[in-house]
């Protein structure tokens, strides 16, 4: 319980490493990763110099959505091991100085969860109102026009209750009814279960999807002036999602969630906010004031745009909108194409992009999240349709290839079958071009992407300005991003050339004498105030 642990703010400025358990390390020879495999590889994670490891879901599940369809919140799925395996993982992580964050999928369950099995059995049982049920329209169609992210209407007919139930994702992922206080109580007890097992934090999946509009009002169409931004692959983007998510009642639930965490020492929370242009307002509401979430992350830097102007726009927008809140930046995760593939131009150098990107990420104000394999510079895998396991990709193939390309197994040993991930056929294939990037190959190479990640994260820890200092942007050339990070330990000037062509940066008049700390290219400052920047060049200096 809480006793005023001085490390309660460990999450502020933390570097977090995301593990996708099914693809990290197989210890049993069944082709799928597991908790024991993660435990065996924790030294690799610790060697990077990160503060915490985030585990994507490992709970009991029929795996229709790879574990994001939970059938028991307090059990480990047998494919990943047991609760005892989890306890050993936590103990070893703590021994290595790593915090453990787990993924909580509270907005919905699997249709095989006992709660839903009981709820769908009748309209008058004890859990009849635990999920979002609604009568059909007079013509038998769905109650409103809401759409599911994974395709089709967000409503599924149930022949026993003769009603529709709501699902924002797969039809096998019914949405819980957060308007029912009993649902909130039951979910908070599952959170307490993991707190008691020593978990240090929670990543809240789809945190703004918890509540729906009680009146079930139709969503309006997306305004015409935004039509060019609407993806034609998935009709979900044609609606302005005013009523099926981001409801005001969520604020009070998040206060309850935070109060539970605050009853324990040094626990933290990070929420995933997907809310389009409203994301920053949502992050502000969810993180400001210290009574809801500790931090959130959005999808602003998880897209295809790679430019100085875009990064500055995103960071400045956050700094303006979220006064007193905190953000966690990431360039890759288990839901998007790996950033080395998104951001490397045809004919470009993916290793240079990987090194540039981690240096930039480490310099931004906020906490940062790394996704397994990016420290090896792994590109997105090209998979055949018959190899896909992601229902999202299968549904929208071929215009959208799904998320399996970023979920292929880690490569540990170049000469071993399947890169040392498993002795059996992996659940997703290991691309041949990933093997040359295996961890054992890069461990011995001081110029590797892996070595660069370790140097950059060590540099970040050594400079308080990068961990929790303020940020102030400076005007620079079209392709150059420049900003100052300031803390009690001093001021750092950070300059990044996003172009593959050389550029220059003029030191600001107030820079005075600078001490160069990081320079890709010449560390010489021409004429006393001009910094030469090669393509994808980086310059970090201490200002006097």
User: Active-site residue numbers?
Assistant: 205, 272
Cα–Cα distance for residue pair 258/352, rounded to 1 Å:
41
- Asked if residue 238 lies in contact with residue 230, where contact means CB atoms within 8 angstroms, the answer is yes
Residue 376 to residues 66, 308, 329, 501, Cα–Cα distance (Å): 24, 24, 19, 25
Cα–Cα distance for residue pair 465/460, rounded to 1 Å:
9
Dihedral angle at the C-alpha atoms of 229, 233, 236, 237, nearest 10 degrees?
Answer: 0
Q: Name the residue among 187, 203, 200 with its Cα closest to residue 73.
A: 187
Which residues on adjacent β-strands are paired with residue 102? 55, 202
Half-sphere exposure of 501 (CA within 13 A, CB side): 4
- Asked if residue 212 lies in contact with residue 132, where contact means CB atoms within 8 angstroms, the answer is yes
Q: Name the residue among 330, 334, 336, 341 with its Cα closest to residue 433.
A: 341
β-pairing, 99-104 vs 201-204, is: parallel
- Number of C-beta neighbours around residue 86 at 10 A: 24
User: Which DSSP letter does residue 469 get?
Assistant: -
Which residues on adjacent β-strands are paired with residue 327? 296
Ordered DSSP codes for 370-426:
EETTGGGTPPPP---GGG---HHHHHHTTTS--SGGG-SPP---TTSGGGGS-SS--
Using CB atoms within 10 Å of the CB of residue 4, give its burial: 0 to 12 exposed, 13 to 18 middle, 19+ buried. Answer: exposed
β-pairing, 268-272 vs 201-204, is: parallel
Q: Name the residue among 347, 254, 355, 345 with its Cα closest to residue 296.
A: 254
What SS3 class is residue 272?
Answer: strand
Q: Where are the beta strands (DSSP E) in 125-213?
A: 133-134, 155-158, 163-166, 201-204
Residue 309 to residues 112, 315, 401, Cα–Cα distance (Å): 47, 10, 29
Question: Quick check: bond before 398 cis, omega within 30?
Answer: yes
Q: Is 374 left (phi over 0), alpha (psi -120 to 50) or beta?
A: alpha
């Amino acid at each position: 319980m809480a006793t005023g642990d001085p490390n309660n703010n460990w999450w502020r400025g933390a570097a977090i490493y995301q593990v996708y358990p099914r693809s990290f390390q197989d210890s049993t020879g069944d082709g799928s990763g597991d908790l024991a495999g993660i435990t065996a590889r924790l030294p690799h994670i610790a060697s990077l110099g990160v503060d915490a490891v985030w585990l994507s879901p490992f709970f009991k599940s029929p795996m229709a959505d790879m574990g994001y369809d939970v059938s028991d919140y307090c059990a480990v799925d047998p494919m990943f091991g047991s609760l005892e395996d989890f306890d050993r993982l936590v103990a070893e992580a703590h021994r290595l100085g790593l915090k453990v964050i787990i993924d909580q999928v509270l907005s919905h369950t699997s249709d095989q969860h006992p709660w839903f099995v009981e709820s769908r059995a009748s309209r008058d049982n004890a859990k009849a109102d635990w999920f979002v049920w609604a009568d059909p329209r007079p013509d038998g169609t769905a109650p409103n026009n809401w759409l599911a992210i994974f395709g089709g209407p967000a409503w599924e007919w149930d022949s026993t209750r003769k009603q529709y139930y709501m699902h924002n994702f797969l039809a096998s992922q019914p949405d819980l009814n957060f308007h029912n206080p009993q649902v909130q109580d039951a979910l908070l007890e599952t959170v307490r279960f993991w707190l008691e097992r020593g978990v240090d934090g929670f990543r809240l999946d789809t945190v703004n999807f918890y509540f729906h509009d009680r009146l079930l009002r139709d969503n309006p169409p997306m305004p015409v002036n935004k039509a060019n931004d609407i993806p034609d692959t998935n009709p979900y983007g044609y609606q302005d999602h005013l009523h099926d998510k981001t409801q005001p009642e969520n604020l009070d639930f998040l206060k309850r969630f935070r109060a539970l965490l605050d009853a324990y020492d040094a626990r933290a929370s990070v929420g995933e906010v997907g809310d389009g242009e409203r994301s920053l307002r949502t992050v502000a509401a969810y993180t400001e004031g210290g009574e809801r979430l500790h931090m959130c992350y959005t999808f602003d830097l998880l897209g295809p745009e790679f430019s100085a102007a875009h990064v500055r726009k995103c960071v400045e927008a956050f700094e303006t909108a979220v006064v007193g809140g905190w953000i966690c930046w990431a360039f890759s995760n288990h839901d998007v194409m790996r950033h080395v593939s998104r951001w490397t131009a045809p004919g470009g150098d993916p290793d240079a992009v990987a090194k540039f990107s981690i240096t930039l990420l480490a310099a931004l104000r906020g906490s940062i999240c790394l996704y397994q394999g990016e420290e090896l510079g792994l590109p997105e895998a090209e998979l055949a349709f018959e190899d896909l396991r992601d229902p999202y990709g299968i549904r929208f193939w071929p215009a959208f290839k799904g998320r399996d390309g970023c979920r292929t197994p880690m490569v540990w040993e170049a000469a071993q079958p399947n890169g040392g991930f498993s002795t059996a056929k992996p659940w997703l294939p290991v691309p041949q071009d990933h093997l040359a990037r295996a961890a054992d190959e890069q461990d011995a190479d001081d110029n590797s992407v892996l070595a660069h990640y370790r140097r950059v994260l060590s540099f970040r820890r050594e400079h308080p300005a990068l961990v929790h200092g303020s940020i102030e942007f400076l005007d620079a050339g079209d392709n150059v991003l420049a900003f100052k990070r300031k803390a009690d330990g001093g001021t750092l000037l950070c300059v990044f050339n996003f172009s593959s062509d050389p550029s220059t940066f003029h030191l600001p008049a107030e820079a005075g004498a600078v001490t160069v700390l990081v320079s890709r290219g010449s560390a010489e400052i021409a004429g006393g105030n001009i910094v030469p920047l090669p393509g994808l060049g980086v310059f970090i200096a201490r200002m006097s």
